[in-house]
Amino acid sequence: MAKKKKKADQEEQAITTAVALDERDQRTLERIQSLADHVIQAAKARKDPYIDIPARTLSNVYFNKKKRFIEMGKAKNRRHLFNLAQAKSYMQTMLVASGCKRLIEQGKTTSIRGLFYLLKHTIEGTKEETFATQEECDPIIEDVEVTLNALREELHVYATNRGAMVGEITIVDSGDEIDCTRMGSGGYAIPSIVEPNVIQFVKCDAKFVLHVEKDTVWRRFNEDKFWKKHKCILTHGMGQPPRGVRRLLHRLHYELGLPVYCLLDNDPWGYYIYSVIKQGSINLAYESQRMAIPEARFLGLRSFDFERCGLSESVTIALTEADRKRAKQIMEYPWFKHKKAWQDEIKKLLDNGFKLEVEALISKDISYVTEVYAPQRLRDGDWLD
């Protein structure tokens, strides 16, 4: 029995050491190892092991005026092993870190759901499960991210793909060269992990990036070959863009110097999506430096467009009380509060009493948004910042 175990250990070691680690993976592994070292040091000193996890709360988030994006403060929550109320979450945190270490060493990636099943088991000698549900596992993954100051993707964990790209750029994705001008009606599906070790930019003839909110609008731009006529890259994120899309936009802007324009609905949700792309999100404040694009510009749809574009009342959608409340909250965001153009924009929304989807422009003509609206706004520099 001992010989079999020894052989199994040797085989596992052979698997983990066969993969050559790049600098980023090595750095992440060192951070994970430091967590383990702290447990060993505490045990040797006969002290209670603990982990200090930066607090992911609204009170620990602030707007950095110099950098122009949301950052996390210095407040931390201490999680102890020998505290009955914290013991389980402490062990779950170490378990997730261990699972990520295993993925990195083997050169493998898995989904958030996959990591949940990789780590889920009944603790020996008990009836206690490591994780009862996916919802119990997800915040622990975020705890590990923020504690290690590592993107989820750097831990080799990914989310479901949501979003697409088409246009004047050629990339290499996991060794395969992809010309994004030849991706048909569906475009290139933007993966969750878009880091330089996975995706490299080979050639780019684009002058800017146009990010649209929804797949339906993106398909109109793609079908009309807007990207070809205006030498650009088109992206969408199926509404609130997932981390992979935001990270790719960040890379396109900072590595290739491409301006990013956002064509979003005229409602509080559209304003919020723009805010997240531009300043980062409160929930993921610890990742703003690798995702936020302070120079991103809001191309539309605007509250004043109802009159300017001559739209009919039949395409309007009445604001709900929840919409009004959200709009007033957004007006108070530090990055909007002192900008007159944004204050006028949101006040006009509230005065109108209705919201507009980008699709409302179809009432003018099926290609009005691609042939008139967007080109004219870009040509006139008519956007909000």
Q: Using CA of residue 371, residue 375, residue 380, residue 384, what is the dihedral sign? A: positive
From the candidates 62, 90, 117, 274, give the one annotated as an active-site residue: 117
Contact 272, 330 (CB under 8 A): yes
- Per-residue burial over 110-139, b if 16 or more Cβ lie within 10 Å, else e, is bebeebbebbbeeeeeeeeebbeeeebbee
Tokens, residue 245: 């899309």
Nearest residue to 136 (alpha-carbon basis) of 121, 155, 116: 116
For residue 117, indicate whether it is catalytic: yes
Q: How far apart are CA 174 and CA 168, in angstroms?
A: 20
Q: Is 257 exposed, middle or buried (0-12, 13-18, 19+ CB in 10 A)?
A: exposed
Residue with tokens 């793609």: 222
Q: State the Cα angle at 191 between 168 and 236, rounded to 5°.
A: 55
- Percentages helix, strand, coil for the chain (3-state, rounded to 5) are 50, 20, 35
Contacting residues for 353 by C-beta, under 8 A, at least 6 apart? 318, 319
Asked if residue 138 lies in contact with residue 164, where contact means CB atoms within 8 angstroms, the answer is no
The catalytic residue positions are 117
